[in-house]
Structure 1
Amino acid sequence: MPDMTADSSARSRAPWWFNLAGHLLEPWVRLRRDPAEPAGLLKPGVPVCYVIERDGFSDALILDRACREAGLPSPMRPLPGARRRRSVFALVRRDGWLFGRNRHRAPNETLGQLVRALEGDPERDIQIVPVSIYVGRAPARESGWFSVLFSENWVMVGRFRRLLALLLNGRDTVVHFSAPVSLRAVMEESGAIPPPRLARKVARVLRTHFRRIRAAVIGPDLSHRRTVVDAVLNAEPVRNAIAATAAKENISYAKAWRRAQKLMFEIAADYSHPVVRSASFLLSNFWNKLYDGIAMHHFDKARAAAPGYEVVYVPSHRSHTDYLLLSYQLHVSGVVVPHIAAGVNLNLPVIGPILRRGGAFFLRRSFKGNALYSVVFNEYVAQLIDRGVPMEYFIEGGRSRTGRLLAPRAGMLAMTVRAFLRAPRRPVLFQPVYIGYEKLMEGKSYIGELSGKPKEKESLLGLLRGLGGVLRQRYGHVALNFGEPIELTPLLDQASPDWRAYAGNPDAKPEWLSGVVDRLAEQIQVNINRAADVNPINLLALALLATPKHAMAESDLLAQLELTKALVAELPYSERITLTPLEPAAIIAYGEQMGWIRRVRHPQGDVLVADDEPAVLLSYFRNNVLHLAATAAWVACCFLNNRRMSRASVVRLGRIVYPFIQGELFLPWDAEGFGAQMQATIDFFVRRGLLESSGEGRLLERGPGQDDAAFQLKVIARSLIQAFERYYIAIAALAKSGPHKLTAAELENACALTAQRLSLLNEQTAPEFFDKALFRGFIQKLREQRVVWTDENGKLDYAEALEDMVRDARVILSREVRHSILKITGDGDRDAARAEEARAAAPQPAPAPLPDDAGSADLHARHVAAERHAHAHEAGTVVAQEKPGGGEPPA
């Protein structure tokens, strides 16, 4: 056991002036030991020699006190058998006094002396205990403005600055004891190495150890941007690109090099620990003025998974505050702030330098036409990964204007994967993060952009002008939910077992790389959605936006909120989903308090209303969690225009439409998994009385239209019905135009115009209804499903399956909606409308929804027909009817 008489012994051995200084310093310093009981690390009966990173009188005082309080042997006692007056030494010494900064490496005589002391006695050993001391690294505690300038960093400061740091930040002092190293074991492993060489080896290992501990506590040593800039400019790929640029443009190598250097200074972060601490101090007050609270869920899981990995944070992107919120929360939780990829449009005067010193590095929207910029940027990312710097970027490419996750842009992901392939020293871990708001400061501008207004260019004046209005409002609560992390190595192993053969090759682009990046991007978006937070505003939006006038009787709204909460709780989308604990009545009161809904008093019961502008903005928050209601909405949609359907038809048609819903909402299941989720949802509806089951569970029936259960089903269904209307717009426009008539871009534009006109006629409050990106994604999914393809002239051709999709739309969309879409799509083409009406009236072999007036005999007959037709279809695919001359997609 450690010597428990360390206290008295230390006092007797240390000089009187050392003990006096310790007494004077004690009120200014509060120690936190890591681990709290370091005595358990030591081997009983073996002499202990402490090694600290940097020489300093204050460090010796702190170490002596920490050892005394922990019951450890004192560093001020002589080391037995080694002819040393003290049991401590430093790796780095400093000369000078108050402002002295002349430093050199500590000589290795101490280690050599310890090695020689063991050579004559094979039974003796010495435990070398590395001790790291940090003054001012406790980010969970708010610090004064001035004290953050003297927090711990990588710079070895003078004694006067260290004294100021102790006076200002001494109460945030951490003493980290590492596991002891047996010097005897090191000597035996090293063989017959001479003592001087062995001493140099041990010193090198200790320096590496201290750097690793310091990087884990305060972040990598990137305080000086020029260090990284020089490394990038001296890298072989960059030198080659500079030479190629000089040859291509007929300029000198020096001029091309200066151009590359200028690009690097445009890109590179200039990380500053004091600036980060200062920003944390400012932001704590800013968040208090803006938000009622910031919650982090599943962060402990994320922190436990991170050690040993290069961590890349990949959050959803919904607001400019995303950058600051995540970095701030990581900092106050004691985690190193990541380097963040930011658009060069944010490199504004004043703001840009602050962001850069907070860890932001800037990239242009496009690298096309600038080969030198592309090589320089790629090399910079590779340097960050090689140095173990945590990173953060948004794979959506920009902020979502609709509230949905955007289709990923995989440029940064591809750079990260290639950088790891080149130097796979530290495994990479992608950490998805869902960021959920209750109100957005950019909400109104998003709606304007979706309605056709040009995007406002960022400027310092615009930022300052908007800041005043922002600070006059409250934005509720914010949630940061950490999703399931994704390791890169298993994805590479799955794609190519010999991927390590590409190590050291900066130009490697194996053919399987794009597939790995695409799967990675898809999985990140899926895992972000699987960590969604369902807040009160999300629930109100799901309910109220499903009514024509965005109004509900209070009793109906209470029932709908209770139903939706039960749906999320009883059919968990993922174990990382979080749900507001507020009861329905409290949710309504909170919505009124936040200004999202308005109460209209009435003698027969109050009505809750979302007025026009709030209703448009609420669509954003409905879309945040639309994926959670997708399965229930599909099942409910089947009963919008049909009172009775077979369970098999609901599930089979759901599998057909699932690839398109999955592509739009990043759902996590395969076709079989979605089928199981539909079955569970149907059972939930039956338990809740929204559907009735008969025929041993094969047949489903809803109540009459005026029934409360039918109303609740309709509300659930209408959250997704616009997606099916958009799908119908696309296939109707393509079918009306005919094969080989439209390019994908022309079809996309025609669909957006049709949806915009339909929105005006029906007064819809969802600007994303005519968002081109959603039509683009649907058309791409049609291609993947081999329903649509491009001919040799770039025009779209399609299979007979498209006709089946038009016909199957009758199950979901009412006749009036289909007629309106066809009329607008065909610009008043009566022939197309009449053809649709004829198809609707004619008997079809498609799975038959049962009308409200169907008798029991007809019910059984239709069910049998539906079951037979289901067996003729392959699960999860659209199969065309065989017709003479039917087109087939090219192989």
Structure 2
Amino acid sequence: MPTSHTIAADHPARSRVPWWFRLSGQLLEPWVRIRREPAEPASLLTPGVPVCYVIERDGFSDALILERACREAGLPSPMQPLTGARRRRSVFALARRDGALLGRDRHRSPNEPLGQLARSLEADPERDIQIVPVSIYVGRAPTRESGWFSVLFSENWVVVGRFRRLLAVLLNGRDTVVHFSAPVSLRAVLDEGGDIRPERFARKIARVLRIHFRRIRAAVIGPDLSHRRTVVDAVLNAEPVRAAIAATAAKEKISPAKAWRNAHKIVLEIAADYSHPVVRSASFLLSNFWNKLYDGITMHHFDKARAAAPGHEVIYVPSHRSHADYLLMSYQLHMSGVVVPHIAAGVNLNLPVIGPILRRGGAFFLRRTFKGNAMYSVIFNEYVAQLIDRGVPMEYFIEGGRSRTGRLLAPRAGMLLMTVRAFLRAPRRPVLFQPVYIGYEKLMEGKSYIGELSGKPKEKESLLGLLKGLKVLRQRYGHVSLNFGEPIELNPLLDAAAADWRSAGTDPDARPEWLNGVVDRLAEQIHININRAADVNPINLLALALLATPKHAMAENDLLTQLELMKALLEDQPYSDRVTVTPLEPTAIVAYGEQMGWIRRIAHPLGDVLVADDEPAVLLSYFRNNVLHLVATAAWVACCFLNNRRMTRASVLRLGRIIYPFIQGELFLPWDEDGFVAQLQATIDFFVRRGLLEATGEGRVLERGPGQEDGAFQLRIIARGLIQAFERYYIAIAALAKHGPHAITAAELEKACTLAAQRLSLLNELSAPEFFDKALFRGFIQKLRERKVVWTDDDGKLDYASALEDMVRDARVILARDMRHSILKITAGDDKEAPRPSPPEQPPAETSGTGNTGSELHERHVEAERHEHDAKIAGKH
């Protein structure tokens, strides 16, 4: 609603608007629909202070649109005289065409209105004027009903003539955005300027306003990239690239001209050819595509992301689950009024027909490896640096490829390193990394992922394969969620690493010692923040419950109870304030799972049973893994009571500290060890309140009910989500113990673990293909190295400390005897415990004092047994 001061000052003035202007506005009104940003701009103004609007470009249609937007928002009319300034209109434009408009002389400089306003304030020190910058965009986002002409005449960076602007209004006027910026107090700016002359003051303010309008335009329609040739020439003329061309010519004994031509081909292979018309065409074409595939696309916390972006170079870093990720992100950003980023895409997607379209949509292509081609590496680095220097938003996937398991893959920091080095070279605009969690309810690539994890080779992308893949349009894939996580600013990370980091950019070839550490911390934090923005959909919850049963089947009542417990756990112990959980109740979740074809109902007189058949059960493991990190603390507590009726709270927490680094490395959890222990404490208290555990001995001793009770069943369901991780850990340490120290390399151990896990999966009919995923074993072995439990000797073989024995011993508390027996039989070749390895004669110095090796772990184990003994005594009383 307009404020009273606005109404009182406004209506008399509107009567003085020329009749021909009012008539033109009435004629234009059916063709124009205005969206104001913000919706209530009157709240930005200071009551009682005269208002003068400034628009970016002179134009009759812009004046009509502005007048109508102000009228609808209850703002003062731009056509009224500006009191005390001798101006017939309360609006002026920074850029002007020939001819008089809005009451101005065509021979005057565009800065003249500012000088005039400044002089009017000098005459009266008590007066003030608030300058309100207003950006007007016609046809920024055509709808899917828009024609090709609408796309051609949509908003861009080119200053067009009156006829072209008229066509744009007629074709795209119903998609008009009027952006009101916060007002600027002219008096405050004058006071800060001191004795500056009005003419110089006017030039200074005009320059600031032009920069402001460029930033707003770049944020709404994207940066002005001109032609791709501009970027290509800038890359080829950069000093590092010229040096690389000269070095290549000398090394390969070819002429400089030929080396330059090779470099030119490489840049053309890489560079995007961004086209606003293509992006706008794709936006309404994709609307039909998404409507055929999905039941809805939802974004959460986008307003927070948009508020943090202004003034930053924004790098979108989403999770990578599907080829649809590229298009979904670009489409949603464009439809939300944000410029489409340039996207780093694998060169395998540069297919005939498809590649050029992606390139014009902002994709730039990179090879899978830069090894053996120094010139390619230099050129690609320079191209990224040029994009950052020009303020072009970017998007890339730091996982390096699509996740086949549903978990986040270990980050590959190549693009991050290039981004950081480019920023260090020219730190003009601070860099902001925006993590995004992308959640699906069904994947187009689901079956191919399962095949690849089972050992089938990955199918190479081809145009024929794409055409065959169009059959996916026959299916429905549910809802998609894009959750925007907490953004990460680069500058604080650099400040923490090195106070003098700004001097590192003077040498483009410099690699400071702290650089890799900063990039590693950045990569880990991105993954953590992606996980902290997870969306829990109905399929995730069904997967967590049903995959925890031997036959992937549950009685309906049990399933409903388990779903209610999981939702209560997620709401009572929130992982972060950006996690979203489906609002559906358990009965609606079950019905939705049946509708989507994930589960099947078997009617029975004693109560219906819900079951996930073999193939859906394997695919469901993907969606369980999407959100497994959210229940990691609950799963750990539940695991402690799989094979133990009673444990002390201290034992649960102690073992949690030991296992946490490995869980954290696999699931990218956000806490340190103390934070994880605090989460465990809160989870234990939740289980006690729910009656799943009973606390005695002043809370020191925890006990679950008998195995046949509902509480014990519910704990088993929760525990199964994490128990396979411990089984994998046990496979690795058992295989290492079997071979002994100085006998096997890390790569050989990884292969042995994978084979053992595959065989165990066949014997136990495990439905999770990621159980024998090489990457997970590789990550566990790497974490053992980081914790100084395992290290490499001079011959490249693995050696280990006695802490490995303690880990084997602690595993007995969690894993069932039959599972330990199976693992040891597969890895050691018999059913006996692996022989105790001889400790190294002189373990590395760094193993002492690590807090998780040697005698300290042994002492902790003795303490754990003492707690168990205390628990038994407490139980008798």
Q: TM-score, normalised by structure 2?
A: 0.88
Decide whether aligned partners of structure 1 residues 26 and 748 sit closer, same or farther in structure 2, where only a CA change above 3 A counts.
same
Q: Report the equivalent of 1:101.
A: none
C-alpha distance in structure 2 between counterparts of 1:333 and 1:606, whole Å: 45
**Which shows bigger deviation, 583-592 or 183-192?**
183-192
Q: Distance in 2 between matches of 1:176 and 1:830?
A: 73
Deviation string for 1:272-310 (max 9, x for gaps)? 222222211122222121111222122222222222222
User: Could you tell me which amino acid in structure 1 is paired with residue 29 of structure 2?
Assistant: E
Paired residue type of 2:111: L
Equivalent position to 1:155, from 147, 154, 158: 158
In structure 2, do the counterparts of structure 1 residues 123 and 787 end up closer, same or farther at CA, with 3 Å as the change threshold?
A: same
Contact 1:298 1:482 in 2 (8 A): yes
CA contact (8 A) 2:552 2:612 kept: yes
Q: CA deviation at 1:157?
A: 2.7
Deviations 1:421-472 (A, max 9, x none): 22222222211111111111100000000000000011111111111x2111
- What does residue 138 of structure 2 align with? 135
**CA–CA distance in structure 2, aligned partners of residues 452 and 22 of structure 1:** 67
Change beyond 3 A, Cα 1:9–1:558: closer
Q: How far off is 1:781 after superposition?
A: 0.4
SS of the aligned residue for 1:109 comes to coil
Aligned to 2:750: 748
Q: Are the equivalent residues in 2 in contact too, given 1:493–1:499 (CA < 8 A)?
A: yes
> What pairs with 1:365-444 in structure 2 (closer than 5 Å)?
365-444=368-447
Measured in 2, the distance between the counterparts of 1:663 and 1:45 equals: 58
Q: Which residue of structure 2 lines up, in the alignment, with residue 555 of structure 1?
A: 557
Q: Which residue of 2 aligns with 1:859?
A: 872
In structure 2, the residue matched to 1:325 is 328
- For the 8 Å contact 2:79–2:88, the answer to whether it is kept is no
Greater shift in the superposed pair: 783-792 or 556-565:
556-565
| 2:641 partner SS | coil
Q: Partner of 1:30 in structure 2?
A: 33
- Secondary structure of the residue aligned to 2:297 is strand
Q: 1:296 aligns with which of 287, 299, 305?
A: 299
| AA of the residue aligned to 2:795 | N
Paired letter, 2:477: Y
Conserved? CA contact 2:737–2:834, under 8 Å: no
**Do 2:321 and 2:406's aligned partners in 1 also have CA atoms closer than 8 Å?**
yes
Distance 1:404 1:113, change over 3 A: closer
Match of 1:651 in 2: 653
The amino acid of 1:214's aligned partner reads R
CA contact (8 A) 1:339 1:390 kept: yes
Among candidates 357, 362, 367, match of residue 365 of structure 2: 362
- TM-score in terms of structure 1 length: 0.87
Aligned to 2:167: 164
Pairwise CA distance, 1:62? 3.6
Q: CA contact under 8 A between 2:272 and 2:364: conserved in structure 1?
A: yes
1:10 aligned partner: 17
Which residue number corresponds to residue 529 of structure 1? 531
1:343 and 2:346 aligned: yes
Q: Structure 1 residue 189 and structure 2 residue 193: aligned?
A: yes
SS state at 1:645 partner: strand
- The AA in structure 2 aligned to 1:747 is L
Q: Secondary structure at the match of 2:365?
A: strand
- Pick from 275, 278, 281 the counterpart of residue 278 of structure 1: 281
Task: Please tell me the residue identity of whatever aligns with 1:358.
Answer: G
| Correspondences of 1:107-126 after superposition (within 5 Å) | 109-111=109-111, 115=115, 122-123=122-123
Does structure 2 conserve the Cα–Cα contact (< 8 Å) formed by 1:131 and 1:177? Answer: yes
Q: Which residue of structure 2 lines up, in the alignment, with residue 809 of structure 1?
A: 811
The structure-2 alpha-carbon separation of the partners of 1:240 and 1:598, relative to structure 1 and needing over 3 Å to count, comes to: same
Match of 2:637 in 1: 635
CA deviations over 1:188-244 (Å, ceiling 9, x no partner): 93857695x776655544433332221122121125222222222222222222222
> 1:7 offset after TM fit, Å?
2.8
Deviation readout 1:108-159 (Å, 9 max, x if unpaired): 6353587489779951799676543221125689745542332111122333
Structure 1 residues 158 and 807: CA distance shift in structure 2, 3 A: same
State the alpha-carbon separation in 2 of the partners of residues 557 and 67 from structure 1: 56
Deviation track 1:154-209 (CA, whole Å, cap 9, x = no partner) reads 122333332221111112223445536749966993857695x7766555444333
The answer on whether the counterparts of 2:411 and 2:523 sit within 8 Å (CA) in structure 1 is yes
The change in CA–CA distance for 1:702 and 1:455 in structure 2 (over 3 A counts) is same
Query: Once structures 1 and 2 are overlaid, which stretch shifts more, 639-648 or 534-543?
Result: 639-648
Amino acid corresponding to residue 798 of structure 1 in structure 2: Y
- In the TM superposition, residue 107 of structure 1 has moved relative to its aligned partner by 7.5
Please say which of residues 574-583 and 198-207 is displaced more in the overlay.
198-207
Query: Cα gap change, 1:797/1:287 in structure 2, threshold over 3 Å: closer, same or farther?
Result: same
Runs of 5+ unmatched residues, structure 1? 97-105, 837-842, 865-891
1:244-259 maps to which residues of 2 (within 5 A)?
A: 244-259=247-262
Q: Offset at 1:378?
A: 1.4
SS at match of 1:719: helix
Whole-angstrom distance in 1 between the partners of 2:692 and 2:133: 67
1:734-792 deviations in whole A, cap 9, x for unaligned? 11101111110010001101111111111111111111000000000000110000001
- Distance change >3 Å, CA 712–CA 459, structure 1 → 2: same
Partner residue, 1:305: 308
Q: CA deviation at 1:66?
A: 5.0
Contact 2:245 2:259 in 1 (8 A): yes
1:223-234 correspondence runs (5 A): 223-234=226-237
Whether the 8 Å CA contact 1:223–1:270 is kept in 2: the answer is no
- Give the alignment of 1:699-778 within 5 angstroms: 699-778=701-780
Which amino acid in structure 2 is aligned with residue 309 of structure 1? H
SS in 1 for 2:522: helix
Give distance in 1, aligned partners of 2:371 and 2:435. 28
For residues 119 and 712 of structure 1, what CA distance do their matches in structure 2 show? Answer: 77
What letter corresponds to residue 264 of structure 1 in structure 2?
V
3-state secondary structure, aligned to 1:720: helix
Tell me which of 665, 673, 679 is aligned to 1:671. Answer: 673
- 8 Å contact from structure 1 (residues 346, 352) kept in 2: yes
Deviation at 1:600, TM superposition (A): 1.4
Query: Is the 2:53–2:133 Cα contact (8 Å) retained in structure 1?
Result: yes
Of stretches 563-572 and 233-242 in structure 1, the one that deviates more from structure 2 is 233-242
How do 1:487-566 residues align onto structure 2 when only pairs under 5 Å count? Answer: 487-566=489-568
Provide the residue aligned with 1:266 in structure 2: 269
The letter for the 1-side match of 2:332 is Q
| RMSD over equivalenced CA pairs, Å | 3.4
Aligned residues, how many? 838
Equivalent AA in structure 2 for residue 295 of structure 1: T
- For structure 2, the residue ranges without an aligned partner over 5 or more in a row are 100-105, 838-857
Q: Which residue of 2 aligns with 1:868?
A: none
Q: CA–CA distance in 1 between the matches of 2:255 and 2:30?
A: 63
Q: 2:246 aligns with which of 228, 243, 247?
A: 243
Alpha carbons of structure 1 residues 833 and 279: separation in structure 2 relative to 1, 3 Å: same
Return the alpha-carbon distance in structure 1 between the equivalents of residues 554 and 157 of structure 2: 60
Could you tell me which amino acid in structure 2 is paired with residue 403 of structure 1?
A: G
CA gap of 1:661–1:259, structure 2 versus 1, over 3 A, is same
* Partner SS, residue 135 of structure 2: strand
> Which amino acid in structure 2 is aligned with residue 752 of structure 1?
T
Deviations 1:618-649 (A, max 9, x none): 11111111111211211221222222222211
Structure-2 separation of matches of 1:462 and 1:856: 63
**What's the counterpart of residue 610 of structure 1?**
612
Q: Distance in 1 between matches of 2:564 and 2:342?
A: 42
Pick the aligned partner of 2:686 from 684, 687, 692.
Answer: 684
Matched residues in 2 for 1:848 and 1:406: separation? 37
Q: Give the partner amino acid of 2:564.
A: E
Contact 2:549 2:717 (8 Å CA) reproduced: yes
Deviation at 1:832, TM superposition (A): 4.8
Between stretches 31-40 and 130-139, larger displacement belongs to 31-40
1:459 has 2:466 as partner = no
Q: Aligned letter for 2:13?
A: A
